[in-house]
Structure 1
Amino acid sequence: MSKVQLYVYDLSNGLAKQLSRQLTGRQIDGIWHTSVVVFGKEVFYGQGILITAPGQSHHGRPLQVVDMGETAIDEETFDEYLNEISSHYTADKYHLLDFNCNSFTNDCVGFLTGGSIPSWIKDLPSDFLSTPFGAALRPTIDAMFRRPFPGAAPTPPPAPNAAALQQAASASPNPALASALLQAVASQAQSTGSLSAPTSLPRAPVPGSSTVAAPIHICTNSSSLHGLLQSHRAAVVYFTSATCGPCKMIEPVFEELAHQKTHGVDGARLAFVKVDMAMGSGGQAGAEWGVRVTPTFLFFLEGKKQHELKGVNAPELRTQVDLLLYQAFPPHPHTKLSLPAVEALSMNPILFQQIPPLDTVSAKLVASIDAASSSADLQTAKQAIVSAVLPYLKSRFQEKSAEAKKPAIPATPQLLTSFTTATKSLVNALPPVQLFPLVDMWRLAVVDDSIVANWLATTTNPDALQALLDKALEALDSSDPAQKSSGRNYILTVLRLLANGFAHPTLSRGLLSRAPPAGKRPQVTRIVVSTLLHEDAAVRTAAASLTFNVAAALQKSRVEKLRGPTAGAVPVAVEEDEEWEAELASAVLEALSNEVQSEEVVHRLVAALAFLLRLSPSYEGQLGPLLEVLQARDTLKSKLEKGGCGENGVQKPEVRKLVEEVATKLCP
């Protein structure tokens, strides 16, 4: 008997815990590297399988030691197992996300104890890839760790494409930080061949057998296979062997399907698994399921075997994979509907780009500052507006004069820090009625410059956007009618600023994220719900526009999940929340019921409702019954009748068609 331990290292040395939320919008506590300690030695995988004295690898001291129990297997049997699987765990097959040190330790722990490594380690790649930053970075990582064809000599990873790295960085809430980190990662990977290139006490190198194509899981024993079946809703398990000629014919089809079918589906619950019957305890894993010949494919749903396919039959393999996916992830009922009016709607955001006289805007703000106080903070804010922010905006928006137009002033961190600090000071000192020129400056800067948008999305100390939203909510929640009325211009400009935020993926995600401190979904929702019923028509129009942008971003996220993101586009990835979506749908229907003046507002609200409903995961559970209770169909159809919107109801043919389609096909 020997004790089995899992040594856990953080390859980021604490950086993931500190920076992950800024980079991905999600807390990731470490980039985990693991090794197995048993029989007085530490065994791990990187440049092949390596062995060292416990705690003496180049990774230093483990961050955590996890007790995995005891093994009844003797050391000689374990050494034989390592020799058998060494032809799989070769340096050329290492992949940061799909086939790494944790894949190896999970196999070893399964062989030794029948268990598996903790899910917070196994699930790290899928957690990372589920973020927009991870999804955008995936092609670059694949290129960095591309595996050679069978028989080819191992080669160092190619230099990552600079444009690809920049595009991946743009998907992060903090592109500048992400770009710097990615360049460092790329340089390390280029020089070492992997992010955790081991150097201590290597075993004799073994040539690679066959290419392992991501995202295929490799299993060498029954325990690992059972763990995968338990953690994935659907699985296709391919039993093969290195000496099987027919396997070499069908394997490229299996690899192609693995690449194709894990995108646009719930990848965290779908697995393509490869078991080599001649490797490790692969033969025992096959025997457990009655596999006697290779190639054999088994199809599992919820851990239960559904079908078995033997031999080389590519068309049948494709058919059975599609059938399994259909059973595991049935298509949304809306995919069967003909919705030409809804599908004709653009998912691009509605933006407010009008340019006011900038000198007049600045003069109004300066006059309010001078009338308020001569405090040092306000005078510093005034200086920042006059000497930094105004010249920046004028360089980007003023019309060309007879002279050659000067180059636009860049939004440097120094300029944005001054703008943010000034905003905080002014919001604390001035009432809403005097602050709308300040918000208008942000509105223009955001719509024109992604650097400004990214700043607002990621800079939280101080948080200019949070300060502006809190002031808007203060005005909206006031019980004083005079204060509510005087804050009209401020509320209107905040709505337009928020609408413009959807021009940029990073800020869009921040506005729709619940994660503090950067996530602003609760505040944005409160502002939307409060202003859709505002007495002022311009405010209602801006609120309807913002609501449309929110719903369009949600719809774009759903479409990407079905079809995959558009080539070259940054993924949207909005988190679904049925309570939140029901609240928005209810607010939209109430606003529609009350809107009898503006056909433009009706158009935007109906389009927003269409996007909230179409492809919603909670449509059959909560949204559908809610629509029925709220008599959504009748509310929509009333807009087409006399007095429903204007004297004779909605008049524009395209709007009438949209209202009828949403009422009859998306409302129960």
Structure 2
Amino acid sequence: MDVQLYVYDLSKGLARMYSLALTGTQMDAIYHTSIVLNGVEYYFGQGIQTSAPGSTHHGQPMEVVNLGITELPRDVIEEYLGSLATIYTPESYDLFLHNCNNFTQDLSMFLVGKSIPEHIINLPRTFLETPFGQMMKPQIEMALKGVTQGTGPGPIPGPSAQFSASRATPPAQKLAIPSGVGIVREVSNLNQLESALSGASHSCAVIFFTSSTCPPCKAVYPTYDQLAAEAGDRGTLIKVDIGIAYDVSSKYSVRATPTFMTFLKGQKVDEWSGATPSQLIGNVRMLLEMAHPAHPHRQLRLPSLQREITSFVMYKKAPPIDKLLQKLPVEFKDGQGVTEVIEFVKLRHSSENTPAADIRVPDLHIFAQTLNSIYSTLPSDSHFAVVDLVRLLLLDPRASGYFAEEAQHTTLLTILAPLSQDEPSPYNLRIVALQLACNLFSTPLYPAQITSSSSSLRETCLRFATNSLLDSHASLRVVAASFAYNLASFNHNARFDGKPDPLSEEDQVELSASLLEAVSREDQSVEALHGLLYALGLLVYETPMDGALIDLCRAMGVAETISGKMDIQAVQKEPLLKELGKELFSKGL
């Protein structure tokens, strides 16, 4: 691969015109250099940055020097760039002592074993040896800071430019405000800062006002990085170089560095100056605790609840396909797209050696149109077989994902809406429809739909499930408890991650009331009681202590109900009775 050195003049010709008169030494340019390799320009400013050759904010190079050819493998080069990224960081940039030319010198020596031109390397020393250079050093650093460390204009040209993100500074166009949590967000203007603060308006934020000429600031950089990692998504830690972001320093009246400001729920709460790590750690940790006070439930011994739920209950068992097909009415089997779905389900559930991804998904749009148009006209005793076919179909995430995106959820409402009414329906139809509802959790798209207050599917599913929790058939109660568990798990996982509850408080209260009533009545099925208790526990765990759900549990005497279950021989071996009864519902209310 050819290796080229791009040479730019930051002074735009002014150095050549005025340097002799001002310094007594002729200087042809104020040099900025970069290395071009395999169609990518590498340079140092805001860390190691990349761009298409000649497309940076420096414009076109004044000179292109061919340095030679490198035989090094690409992965070796990327590994070396990753190691350089820990040295050439945004904070380490110094216009005279640690600049772009030092970076290109290191990279050139590694690639081709050749130095870049000496007059470029020696220019800072030549300038600083003059009286004018010594006097004007701070002003020149300030004047050229934005030019030398400006960000690039466009995306990286291709995969060859991207070395490991774990070892290298992100490319120029991604440096403004990183999207990841647990890292310090570096901003360079007021708009970026206000955007970062707006994103933290429901939690907390810290602003670290720093500058490249502040040694005490650099001393606490590692501490600040560690605090950002500790905060994760609970708070936003921001760093602002007031030598670049003049509009920020003007608005916040910051004149000295390091200065820190803290914000809670969008309001400023504190400001202090000085590079004292212990003070910084104490203040930031106190802010995080104020923004996210520990819930009292975390102090309880609840191993079943104090974790993320990693799997949902789904009903995957397939009946003998031939027997199922015999129960499908002829008018349905003859419908457009139905034969293809039947063949897909056959292959999906009978091919042990064929990966599911290799089985082609049929045209689900045509199948949905057929189902929606004739389902209500089919004999009622055949609905069970049709719904069971759809249940098996939805086990494939590609199929469930399609129906989750279907406008108005027509297909699911066609099946479930009649069952959510108070009119009695056949037991076998209700249980297979509830199993179908559980299988909606095979795709991440459906849970968000079911819990959305604007979704027509939400009310239908909730009503169907709550009505079934009190059914006389134990098997149906088990499946209804499984669906409630899936809903509660989805809500619990969001809460566990510090995100807003997907289920509204009203829906949680309605579902919990039905679960509590079902728990009070359940004295036969340990399996049903397990699902009911688990779903209820997931909804109650870390719910607001002053919220309606805690009030409901107290009003309905949940602690007494659980205590009473421990005396019933048929269900007293259920371990959740002890865990939830002695901890969550006794100490946590």
TM-score by length of 2: 0.64
Task: Show the 5 A alignment for 1:253-264.
Answer: 253-255=223-225, 257-258=227-228, 260-263=230-233
2:535 is paired with a residue whose SS is helix
1:506 equivalenced with 2:448 (yes/no): no
- Please name the residue that 1:237 is paired with: 207
Task: Show the 5 A alignment for 1:154-165.
Answer: none
Matched to 2:422, the amino acid is D
Runs (5+) with no aligned partner, structure 1: 1-88, 96-142, 156-187, 194-207, 370-377, 479-483, 563-572, 643-647
* Structure 1 pair 283–543 and aligned structure 2 pair: CA distance change class (3 A): closer
1:214 equivalenced with 2:178 (yes/no): yes
Matched to 2:350, the amino acid is Q
Q: CA deviation at 1:322?
A: 1.5
* Matching residue within 454, 458, 465 for 1:521: 458
Is the Cα–Cα contact under 8 Å of residues 259 and 271 in structure 2 kept in the other structure?
yes
Is the Cα–Cα contact under 8 Å of residues 606 and 658 in structure 1 kept in the other structure?
no
- In the alignment, the residues of structure 2 paired with residue 408 and residue 280 of structure 1 have an alpha-carbon distance, to the nearest angstrom, of 58
Is the Cα–Cα contact under 8 Å of residues 341 and 362 in structure 2 kept in the other structure?
no
CA deviations 1:590-634 (Å, max 9, x no partner) are 111222221211111011111000022x34221111111111111
Q: CA deviation at 1:326?
A: 0.6
* Matching residue within 550, 571, 589 for 1:650: 571
Q: CA deviation at 1:422?
A: 2.7
- Please name the residue that 1:199 is paired with: none
2:208 is paired with a residue whose SS is strand
1:149 equivalenced with 2:96 (yes/no): no
2:524 is paired with a residue whose SS is coil
- In the alignment, the residues of structure 2 paired with residue 461 and residue 301 of structure 1 have an alpha-carbon distance, to the nearest angstrom, of 40
Task: Show the 5 A alignment for 1:226-305.
Answer: 228=197, 231=201, 234-255=204-225, 257-258=227-228, 260-263=230-233, 265=234, 270=236, 272=238, 274=240, 276=242, 279-287=245-253, 291-302=254-265, 305=268
2:542 is paired with a residue whose SS is coil
Is the Cα–Cα contact under 8 Å of residues 177 and 187 in structure 2 kept in the other structure?
no
* Matching residue within 396, 413, 426 for 1:466: 413
1:627 equivalenced with 2:553 (yes/no): yes
Matched to 1:214, the amino acid is P
1:554 equivalenced with 2:494 (yes/no): no
Q: CA deviation at 1:654?
A: 2.0
* Structure 1 pair 513–343 and aligned structure 2 pair: CA distance change class (3 A): same
- Please name the residue that 2:482 is paired with: 545
Q: CA deviation at 1:219?
A: 6.5
Matched to 2:496, the amino acid is V
* Structure 1 pair 407–222 and aligned structure 2 pair: CA distance change class (3 A): closer
Is the Cα–Cα contact under 8 Å of residues 329 and 378 in structure 2 kept in the other structure?
no
- In the alignment, the residues of structure 2 paired with residue 615 and residue 331 of structure 1 have an alpha-carbon distance, to the nearest angstrom, of 9
Is the Cα–Cα contact under 8 Å of residues 240 and 275 in structure 1 kept in the other structure?
yes
Q: CA deviation at 1:247?
A: 2.0
- In the alignment, the residues of structure 2 paired with residue 249 and residue 408 of structure 1 have an alpha-carbon distance, to the nearest angstrom, of 55
Matched to 2:206, the amino acid is V
* Structure 1 pair 463–90 and aligned structure 2 pair: CA distance change class (3 A): farther
* Structure 1 pair 575–217 and aligned structure 2 pair: CA distance change class (3 A): farther
- In the alignment, the residues of structure 1 paired with residue 408 and residue 394 of structure 2 have an alpha-carbon distance, to the nearest angstrom, of 19
Matched to 1:621, the amino acid is G
Is the Cα–Cα contact under 8 Å of residues 235 and 273 in structure 1 kept in the other structure?
no
- Please name the residue that 2:350 is paired with: 398
1:298 is paired with a residue whose SS is strand
Is the Cα–Cα contact under 8 Å of residues 439 and 490 in structure 1 kept in the other structure?
yes
CA deviations 1:238-268 (Å, max 9, x no partner) are 12223222223333543554455251x2x6x
Q: CA deviation at 1:503?
A: 3.2
Task: Show the 5 A alignment for 1:63-78.
Answer: none
- In the alignment, the residues of structure 2 paired with residue 500 and residue 434 of structure 1 have an alpha-carbon distance, to the nearest angstrom, of 21
- In the alignment, the residues of structure 2 paired with residue 94 and residue 432 of structure 1 have an alpha-carbon distance, to the nearest angstrom, of 66
Q: CA deviation at 1:274?
A: 2.3
- Please name the residue that 1:56 is paired with: none
User: How many aligned residue pairs are there?
Assistant: 437
Is the Cα–Cα contact under 8 Å of residues 624 and 667 in structure 1 kept in the other structure?
no
Q: CA deviation at 1:651?
A: 3.1
Task: Show the 5 A alignment for 1:21-60.
Answer: none
1:453 equivalenced with 2:417 (yes/no): no
- In the alignment, the residues of structure 1 paired with residue 237 and residue 306 of structure 2 have an alpha-carbon distance, to the nearest angstrom, of 32
- In the alignment, the residues of structure 1 paired with residue 466 and residue 390 of structure 2 have an alpha-carbon distance, to the nearest angstrom, of 23
Matched to 1:458, the amino acid is E
Is the Cα–Cα contact under 8 Å of residues 334 and 615 in structure 1 kept in the other structure?
yes
1:579 equivalenced with 2:510 (yes/no): no
CA deviations 1:97-155 (Å, max 9, x no partner) are xxxxxxxxxxxxxxxxxxxxxxxxxxxxxxxxxxxxxxxxxxxxxx9xx9983358699
* Structure 1 pair 544–314 and aligned structure 2 pair: CA distance change class (3 A): same
Q: CA deviation at 1:348?
A: 2.1
Is the Cα–Cα contact under 8 Å of residues 641 and 649 in structure 1 kept in the other structure?
no
* Structure 1 pair 619–416 and aligned structure 2 pair: CA distance change class (3 A): farther
Higher relative contact order (CA 8 A, sep 6+): 1
* Structure 1 pair 409–534 and aligned structure 2 pair: CA distance change class (3 A): same
Give the % identical residues: 26
- In the alignment, the residues of structure 2 paired with residue 504 and residue 91 of structure 1 have an alpha-carbon distance, to the nearest angstrom, of 40
1:356 equivalenced with 2:319 (yes/no): yes
Q: CA deviation at 1:442?
A: 1.8
- Please name the residue that 2:524 is paired with: 597
Task: Show the 5 A alignment for 1:375-524.
Answer: 378=332, 380-381=334-335, 384-385=337-338, 387-398=339-350, 412=360, 414-447=362-395, 449-460=396-407, 463-473=410-420, 476-478=421-423, 484-485=424-425, 487-516=426-455, 520-524=457-461
* Structure 1 pair 461–300 and aligned structure 2 pair: CA distance change class (3 A): closer
Is the Cα–Cα contact under 8 Å of residues 299 and 305 in structure 1 kept in the other structure?
yes
* Structure 1 pair 211–444 and aligned structure 2 pair: CA distance change class (3 A): closer
Is the Cα–Cα contact under 8 Å of residues 488 and 536 in structure 2 kept in the other structure?
yes
Higher-Rg member (1/2): 2
CA deviations 1:505-547 (Å, max 9, x no partner) are 223323323344xx63222111111111112222111101111
* Structure 1 pair 636–391 and aligned structure 2 pair: CA distance change class (3 A): same
Is the Cα–Cα contact under 8 Å of residues 309 and 317 in structure 1 kept in the other structure?
no
Task: Show the 5 A alignment for 1:94-109.
Answer: none
Matched to 1:521, the amino acid is R
Matched to 2:211, the amino acid is S
* Structure 1 pair 431–592 and aligned structure 2 pair: CA distance change class (3 A): farther
Q: CA deviation at 1:223?
A: 12
- In the alignment, the residues of structure 1 paired with residue 244 and residue 356 of structure 2 have an alpha-carbon distance, to the nearest angstrom, of 66
- In the alignment, the residues of structure 1 paired with residue 354 and residue 194 of structure 2 have an alpha-carbon distance, to the nearest angstrom, of 65
1:614 equivalenced with 2:541 (yes/no): yes
Is the Cα–Cα contact under 8 Å of residues 238 and 298 in structure 1 kept in the other structure?
yes
- In the alignment, the residues of structure 2 paired with residue 343 and residue 224 of structure 1 have an alpha-carbon distance, to the nearest angstrom, of 35
Is the Cα–Cα contact under 8 Å of residues 424 and 462 in structure 1 kept in the other structure?
no
Is the Cα–Cα contact under 8 Å of residues 533 and 540 in structure 1 kept in the other structure?
yes
* Structure 1 pair 312–513 and aligned structure 2 pair: CA distance change class (3 A): same
